[in-house]
With several copies, the nearest count.
Chain A
């Protein structure tokens, strides 16, 4: 099996060959000595040059991540034969200039109108969730092009609330 794994803009080519319970691995062409066992679903113990690494799979939000020891790596895995994964790989690219709701909540205040000039970091929309009010800021300096929600509206995570251009 061949996978393209993207971590922090760098893409690795991982070639896995399985024979019975055994795996051999090539990383970008390099032979990668693989001494790995599964401790439980989503949890690997990996030995490399005697160093012991516990690797855990974390699935938070649209992008996948793995934790090696204590270091968390956002990863996009692309199986060249798979279609779905292409979209996930896209999830790691730079986002648009939208203001999106990072979690579900309620719009309690609009601090700018369509057409208004806003500085990068200036608060545009205030949403409340879990009893905390959070000010959503302009991702860039520019003009508010669109506001898709009204005060009092309930919004979903990831919903596009406004656009700055």
Chain B
């Protein structure tokens, strides 16, 4: 096993990998930009080295600098996390060139799957079911032609894209040009590659993906599926395992296709095959993510495995410690991605200082966080704060548990999307498992309903707001030092005991 691993990432995934290193006795080396000196992953790692200015291109995407740091600090391997350089084949090659193990697939497989167009061709050849569309990059003119052929609506995608960036749904010919250009410029910015292709848009599909693990000795297994249909702007918001619509038979068929795709790509380490599933439960290859997924914890909870630790074992040349038949799924897991964004304001990012952070705990609750109370969320990167994941005996219990966990979660100082999750988890369609990639947009199109008992709650809010104002520490004048009693004994005044017993009587 490696003695030291450099983690070429930041935020919750860097912390996640540091934890895996700590548990395996591997020294962890973090990197940080000038914006991240005080970030959680820096203080949690055994070592930390600066790699440049805040702008990702000059730090977390700075291949030469990162390789240099890895060599200087004696790291034997680099874990790329997700995003940033995790799907960058040149980076993987640079690691190999520097004698450092890249913890992920071989560059060839990354390139094949990294190009959506080449991947489509290869998967098509491997007999993997595909959505009709172009198998290569298109000019605007070609795109218009192809769109006419397969018929609107169509989906425009960046060949180098991922995470919804450089991706646009086009419902009518008139919208094609501006969407094409927006996607192209976004892709150029995000991936430095403006290649765009086009596919028939499947109405209200489910997004279901299969986790695979492949060692470097030819063993490939699948770890069941993840249902990722709750999305906004093609960004996953909630993921769960297993899927409400996948039975054992469908799981085996999807798994077999995923394993076949993995083998045919010469793929190793952890990977994910994403499928679109239509209303008849037909599944079509969407893309392969050649890295650890954000949502890997739901698979960890239902399988009882630690995917990051397995990534280390595979990368260090070990064989998979189990076979397909050893893998069982127990219970149901759900993940919510907590973002610093304002649900009341079109989900715009809401960076800033976290003044309060109350985190859920107790049975079946896991939080993978990249932040802490007092941390100022920088503008410069993806606004995900943490992932809240629950595990329970079945889907109903998991939903109830997630509601409970969300009730315990509080972030002060910045806006987050926490309120959105409560709406989703209370929605009858979600509870019934009737979800597809259009579910969240439909939900957001309907106004949030007022809560029952809102009047009492509003009264309490009003009184509390006054109390906070009256006891604010910075407050001057005659209220200075006004405090709400904290000594509980001092609270047991006569009139309050009276009020309480009245309360009891009123029950």
Contact = CB atoms under 8 A, between A and B. Distances in A.
Most buried by B among A45, A73, A105, A109: A45
A38 B486 CA distance: 5
B465 A77 contact: yes
A2 to B, nearest CB: 9
Nearest to B380: A130
A14 B462 contact: yes
A68 B464 contact: yes
A12 B464 CA distance: 12
Nearest to A25: B463
Nearest to B378: A130
Contact of B43 (A5, A52, A70, A109): A52
B467 interface: yes
Given A37-B485, A45-B38, A47-B48, A24 B495 contact: yes
B491 interface: yes
Contacts of B352: 60
A75 B465 contact: yes
A88 B451 CA distance: 26
Given A5-B466, A22-B485, A51 B415 contact: no
A52 B42 contact: yes
A83 to B, nearest CB: 12
B463 A27 contact: yes
A36 B484 CA distance: 7
A143 interface: no
B281 interface: no
B458 A73 contact: yes
B479 interface: yes
- Which bucket holds chain B's interface residue count? 35 or more
Contact of B48 (A42, A52, A66, A71): A52
A103 interface: yes
Contacts of A153: none
A34 B463 contact: yes
A104 B54 CA distance: 15
Given A5-B466, A49-B503, A108 B185 contact: yes
Nearest to A76: B465
B454 interface: yes
Contacts of B468: 42, 44, 57, 66, 77
Which secondary structure dominates where chain A touches chain B? strand
Given A40-B372, A45-B38, A48-B460, A14 B410 contact: no
Interface in A30-82: 32-61, 64, 66-73, 75, 77, 79
B341 to A, nearest CB: 9
B47 A103 contact: no
A5 B465 contact: yes
Contacts of B38: 37-39, 45
A37 B491 contact: yes
B75 to A, nearest CB: 11
B462 A23 contact: no
A52 B37 CA distance: 11
Contact of B182 (A27, A55, A126): A126
B346 interface: yes
Contact of A68 (B349, B461, B470): B461
Contacts of A45: 37-38, 42-43
Interface string A125-139: 010111111100000
B182 A73 contact: no
B46 interface: yes
Contact of A40 (B46, B373, B454): B373
A7 B462 contact: yes
Nearest to B416: A60
B247 interface: no
B23 interface: no
B342 interface: yes
B374 A56 contact: no
B48 A68 contact: no
A110 interface: no
Most buried by B among A8, A24, A41, A131: A131
Contacts of B456: 48
B430 to A, nearest CB: 17
Please name the 9 residue pairs, one residue from A and one from B, whose CB atoms are nearest each other, closest first.
A40-B374, A33-B499, A21-B485, A50-B503, A49-B503, A14-B466, A38-B484, A73-B461, A12-B462
Interface of A: 1, 3, 5, 7-8, 10, 12, 14, 16, 18, 20-25, 27, 32-61, 64, 66-73, 75, 77, 79, 102-105, 108-109, 126, 128-134
Given A27-B459, A61-B350, A69-B407, 18 more contacts: A14-B463, A22-B490, A27-B462, A47-B42, A49-B502, A53-B460, A54-B43, A54-B44, A55-B460, A58-B410, A59-B413, A60-B350, A61-B342, A70-B406, A103-B350, A108-B185, A130-B381, A131-B382
